[in-house]
C-alpha cells in the first residue's frame, strides 16, 4: 500500500474540518517552499490530491494526512531542511569565503554563518572555504543577479521573482539575523543600492535593463524601517549611486541616447550631467559610482548592444569633464582600498586608482574568475562594503529545464527526455513540430520522431534577441535577428526547404514577439522605443510597400500581442491601469480596449478555434471562454491549473496551446540551480598583495 493509501486509512479526509487548497497553502502548512513540497509529492508520497474539475486550483490536501506523513518522514524532512557538509574548495585567499549553494540562496541563514558574522572572529585556516545552504522565500525564484551590500557591511538587499505576484520584489537581509524581510511596494524593482547611512534603498522599477532599447522606468527609494516607496524621477534600468551629499545619480534614456542625471534624494528636479557624444541614439552612459571624498564619479560607456565593447570613464561633477580611465570593461565600483573593480569578459578585474588625480595606477589584474554578469545591460553581481566585505554571485546561472505536456487538469508528462535551457516553445499549425529556443539559439523538434534540428545558429549576432519565434499558417517560421547595432530584423524561412532566411522587416530599434493572423496576411509585433515605451505595430503583407503601421502607441507598456484566429482582435498585455493586465482591442479599429484578466495577467494565447483566450496569473493558468462574432462576448474566467512553470511577464508567452486546445506545452525547471553567493571577509587584504601594490 502506498503512503497516500496509508494516510487515507489512518485518518480519513472526512475527519478534517478544512482543506489546504493550493500548493502555496500546503507549503505554508509544512513550513517549506513550494518546490520542496512538490518534490516530496513526486518522490516521497506526500498525500496531495488533484481535482479533475475546479475553479480555485488543481490540488488540495488534508492537514491530518500531512501530519501523519510528516511523522513517518521526520528523518527525511530534517535532512532536507539542513545543509549537507560540503568539501572545502581550494582558494588562494586568506579571507573567509562563504559560498551559498544547493540551488537556492539567501533567505534563512544557516546559524553558523550568522554566529561567525556576529562574533567577528577571524578564521585561523588561511584557505578555508565554507559552503552553506540557504533558502529563498517561499514561492519565489532568483532569476536575476541584482544585489547590494550597505557601506557598513551590515545589510544585504537582493531581488527575487515572486511567483504569486508574477513580478520582481526586493528583500532585505540584516546579516546579524536569520531571516529576510520583504520590502513592501517594491514590485517591479531591480538594481538596488543603499544610501550612505544604510537606512534607505534606491532602486529602479517598471523597466527593462536594456537602456535606450526599452521604456524608461522610475527611480524610487524606500526606507528599510517601513513605509511605501517614494518616486523620484523617470529613469532607465542602468544603475544608480547615492552620494554623501544626499544626491542620487542615475541613467535616463531619450531619443539621442542615454545620459546620466542627478537629483536630490529628498526629491526635486533632475539635472543632466552627461550627454551622449554620438547622435544616433545608441550611446549609453550607465552604472555611476561616486568616488568618496571627491567630486568625481566613475561610470560605463558603450555604443554597442553589449557593454563588453564598452569603456570606463570618470566624470568631474565640478567641471563636467569626462575622460576614459579603462579602455575596455564595465560596471566599475570604487573600493575603499584604493582600487577600481570592474568586469571584463565575465571576470572581475581590479586596478589601483588615485582618487585625487582620477587616474589608474599600474595594470589591471584578474581577482575573481567567472562572476555572474549580463553584458547587454552591463550588470554585474558583486558589491563591496567600506571595510572589505565582498559579496558576489559566482559564475553564471545554470538551468536545465524540461519541456512538458500539461493537460487542462494540470497533469504533466515530458515532451522529450532531454533537458536544456529551453525558452519560448511554439507549436506548428499542425502540431507536429515545435520551435523552441535553447541558449538563444532556435531549434526545431519533430514531435513524432523526437529529433531536433538547429536553425540559423551561426548568424543570430553577437547579442541575439530572445529566441521568440512564430509559425505562419503555411509552415514558415519567423524569428528576430540583431547583429552589431540595435537594428533588428524579422526574418522567415521554410525549416525543411534548405533555403536561406529572408528579411521580412527591418527596424532601427529592438522588435520582438511576432504573431500572425490565421490567413497569414497580417503580422503584429511590439517595438522598444524609449520615449513611448513598448508599442504594438501591424504589418500587412497585402500592401505593395511592406511598412508596418502603428496599432497602439501610448506611454504605457504594451507587449506580447496576439491576433485572434479571425484577425478581428488583438490580445496584448498593458500596464495602463498601473499593473500588468490582459486586454483585447479590435483590429483595425476603431474601438476601446476591453479588459480580459480579472486583475493582474500576462502571456495571452488564443485557442485555434478562437473560443478561448488563455493567460497567466502568477502560477495559475486561466481560461476565458469568448465569442468574437457577431460581437465580442466574454465568459467567466476560471483557473485550469496552478503549477510553477517558467514565466515571462516581460516579453512573450513561455508556453503554447495544442491545436485541439486540450494540452499545453510548458517549461518546468526540475534541475534549476542558482549561482552560488560568495561572502568574502577582509577582501582588501588580498588586493594589497596584488602586483603594482
Confidence (pLDDT) at 459: 46
Task: Compute the 3-state secondary structure of the chain and give helix, strand, coil in percent, each to the nearest 5.
Answer: 10, 45, 45
* Angle at CA of residue 621, ends 515 and 581, nearest 5°: 65
Confidence (pLDDT) at 530: 58
Confidence (pLDDT) at 498: 62
Confidence (pLDDT) at 72: 66
Confidence (pLDDT) at 219: 95
Confidence (pLDDT) at 286: 93
Cα distance between residue 216 and residue 590, in whole Å: 28
Of 296, 290, 328, which is closest to residue 312 (Cα–Cα)? 328
Confidence (pLDDT) at 398: 53
Confidence (pLDDT) at 209: 43
Cα distance between residue 89 and residue 411, in whole Å: 41
Helices (H), 169-302: none
Q: Residue 153, Cα to own-chain centre: how many angstroms?
A: 26
Rounded-to-10 torsion of CA 13, 15, 20, 21 = 60
Rounded-to-10 torsion of CA 153, 376, 214, 286 = 50
Which three three-digit cell numbers place residue 179?
531571516
Cα distance between residue 560 and residue 597, in whole Å: 14
Cα distance between residue 602 and residue 163, in whole Å: 12
Confidence (pLDDT) at 396: 54
Query: What are the residue ranges in the chain where pLDDT is below 70?
Result: 1-17, 43, 51-57, 72-144, 163-166, 178, 207-216, 279-281, 305, 395-399, 440, 456-466, 482-486, 497-499, 529-533, 670-676, 692-693
542 close to 496: Cβ distance less than 8 angstroms: no
Confidence (pLDDT) at 121: 40
Cα distance between residue 162 and residue 148, in whole Å: 19
Query: In angstroms, what CA-CA distances link 135 with 80, 179, 200, 492?
Result: 11, 10, 25, 44
Confidence (pLDDT) at 6: 31
Buried b (16+ CB within 10 A) or exposed e, 3-30: bbebbbeebeeeebeeebbbbbbbbbeb
Please count the other Cβ atoms lying within 10 Å of the Cβ belonging to residue 469. 24
Confidence (pLDDT) at 564: 92
405 close to 665: Cβ distance less than 8 angstroms: yes
Which residue ranges form the domains of the chain, and what is each CATH number?
Answer: 3-80 (1.10.10), 97-398+674-688 (2.120.10.30), 402-668 (2.120.10.30)
Confidence (pLDDT) at 15: 43
Amino acid at each position: 500500500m502506498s503512503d497516500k493509501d496509508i494516510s487515507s486509512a489512518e485518518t480519513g479526509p472526512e475527519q478534517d474540518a478544512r482543506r489546504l487548497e493550493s500548493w502555496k497553502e500546503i507549503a505554508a502548512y509544512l513550513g517549506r517552499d513550494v518546490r520542496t513540497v512538490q518534490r516530496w509529492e513526486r518522490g516521497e508520497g506526500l498525500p496531495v490530491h488533484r481535482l479533475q474539475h475546479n475553479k480555485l486550483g488543481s490540488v488540495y490536501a488534508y492537514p491530518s494526512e500531512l501530519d501523519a506523513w510528516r511523522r513517518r518522514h521526520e528523518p527525511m524532512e530534517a535532512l532536507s531542511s539542513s545543509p549537507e557538509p560540503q568539501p572545502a574548495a581550494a582558494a588562494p585567499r586568506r579571507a573567509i569565503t562563504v559560498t551559498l549553494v544547493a540551488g537556492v540562496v539567501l533567505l534563512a541563514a544557516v546559524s553558523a554563518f550568522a554566529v561567525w558574522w556576529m562574533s567577528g572572529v577571524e578564521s585561523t585556516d588561511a584557505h578555508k572555504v565554507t559552503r552553506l545552504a540557504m533558502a529563498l522565500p517561499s514561492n519565489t525564484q532568483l532569476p536575476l543577479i541584482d544585489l547590494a551590500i550597505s557601506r557598513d557591511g551590515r545589510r544585504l538587499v537582493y531581488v527575487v521573482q515572486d511567483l504569486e505576484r508574477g513580478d520582481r520584489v526586493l528583500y532585505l537581509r540584516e546579516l546579524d539575523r536569520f531571516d529576510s524581510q520583504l520590502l513592501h511596494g517594491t514590485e517591479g524593482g531591480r538594481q538596488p543600492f543603499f544610501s550612505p547611512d544604510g537606512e534607505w534603498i534606491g532602486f529602479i522599477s517598471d523597466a527593462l535593463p536594456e537602456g535606450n532599447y526599452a521604456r524608461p522606468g522610475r527611480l524610487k527609494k524606500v526606507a528599510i524601517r517601513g513605509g511605501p516607496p517614494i518616486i523620484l524621477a523617470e529613469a532607465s534600468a542602468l544603475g544608480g549611486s547615492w552620494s554623501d551629499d544626499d544626491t542620487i545619480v542615475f541613467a535616463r534614456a531619450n531619443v539621442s541616447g542615454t545620459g546620466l542625471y542627478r537629483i536630490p534624494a529628498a526629491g526635486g528636479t533632475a539635472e543632466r550631467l552627461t550627454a551622449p557624444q554620438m547622435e544616433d541614439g545608441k550611446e549609453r552612459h550607465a552604472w555611476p559610482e561616486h568616488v568618496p571624498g571627491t567630486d568625481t564619479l566613475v561610470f560605463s560607456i558603450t555604443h554597442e548592444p553589449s557593454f563588453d565593447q564598452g569603456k570606463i570613464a570618470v566624470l568631474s561633477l565640478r567641471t563636467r569633464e569626462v575622460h576614459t580611465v579603462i579602455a575596455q570593461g564595465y560596471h566599475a565600483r570604487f573600493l575603499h582600498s584604493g582600487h577600481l573593480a570592474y568586469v571584463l569578459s565575465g571576470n572581475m578585474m581590479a586596478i589601483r586608482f588615485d582618487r585625487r588625480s582620477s587616474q589608474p595606477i599600474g595594470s589591471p589584474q584578474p581577482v575573481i574568475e567567472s562572476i555572474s554578469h549580463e553584458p547587454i545591460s552591463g550588470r554585474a553581481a558583486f558589491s563591496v562594503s567600506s571595510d572589505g566585505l565582498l559579496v558576489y554571485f559566482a559564475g553564471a546561472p545554470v538551468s536545465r529545464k524540461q519541456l512538458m505536456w500539461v493537460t487542462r487538469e494540470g497533469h504533466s508528462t515530458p515532451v522529450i527526455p532531454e533537458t536544456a535551457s529551453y525558452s519560448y516553445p511554439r507549436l506548428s499549425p499542425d502540431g507536429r513540430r515545435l520551435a523552441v529556443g535553447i541558449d538563444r539559439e532556435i531549434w526545431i523538434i519533430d514531435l513524432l520522431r523526437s529529433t531536433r534540428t538547429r536553425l540559423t545558429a551561426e548568424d543570430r549576432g553577437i547579442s541575439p534577441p530572445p529566441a521568440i519565434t512564430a509559425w505562419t499558417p503555411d509552415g514558415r517560421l519567423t524569428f528576430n535577428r540583431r547583429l552589431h547595432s540595435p537594428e533588428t530584423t524579422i526574418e522567415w524561412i521554410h525549416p525543411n526547404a534548405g533555403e536561406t532566411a529572408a528579411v521580412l522587416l527591418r527596424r532601427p530599434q529592438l522588435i520582438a514577439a511576432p504573431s500572425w493572423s490565421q490567413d497569414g496576411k497580417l503580422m503584429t509585433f511590439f517595438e522598444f522605443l524609449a520615449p513611448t515605451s513598448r508599442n504594438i505595430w501591424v504589418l500587412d503583407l497585402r500592401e505593395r510597400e511592406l511598412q508596418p503601421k502603428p496599432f497602439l502607441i501610448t506611454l504605457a507598456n504594451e507587449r506580447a500581442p496576439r491576433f485572434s484566429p479571425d484577425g478581428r482582435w488583438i490580445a496584448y498585455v498593458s500596464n495602463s491601469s498601473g499593473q500588468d493586465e490582459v486586454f483585447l482591442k479590435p483590429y483595425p479599429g476603431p474601438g476601446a480596449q476591453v479588459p480580459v484578466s480579472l486583475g493582474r495577467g500576462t502571456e495571452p494565447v488564443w485557442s485555434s478555434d478562437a473560443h478561448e483566450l488563455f493567460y497567466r496569473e502568477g502560477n495559475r493558468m486561466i481560461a476565458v471562454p469568448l465569442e468574437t462574432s457577431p460581437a465580442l462576448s466574454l465568459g467567466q474566467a476560471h483557473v485550469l491549473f496552478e503549477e510553477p512553470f517558467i514565466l515571462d511577464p516581460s516579453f512573450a508567452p513561455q508556453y503554447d496551446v495544442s491545436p485541439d486546445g486540450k494540452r499545453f506545452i510548458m517549461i518546468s525547471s526540475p534541475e534549476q540551480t542558482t549561482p552560488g553567493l560568495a561572502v568574502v571577509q577582509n577582501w582588501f587584504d588580498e588586493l594589497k598583495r596584488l602586483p603594482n601594490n
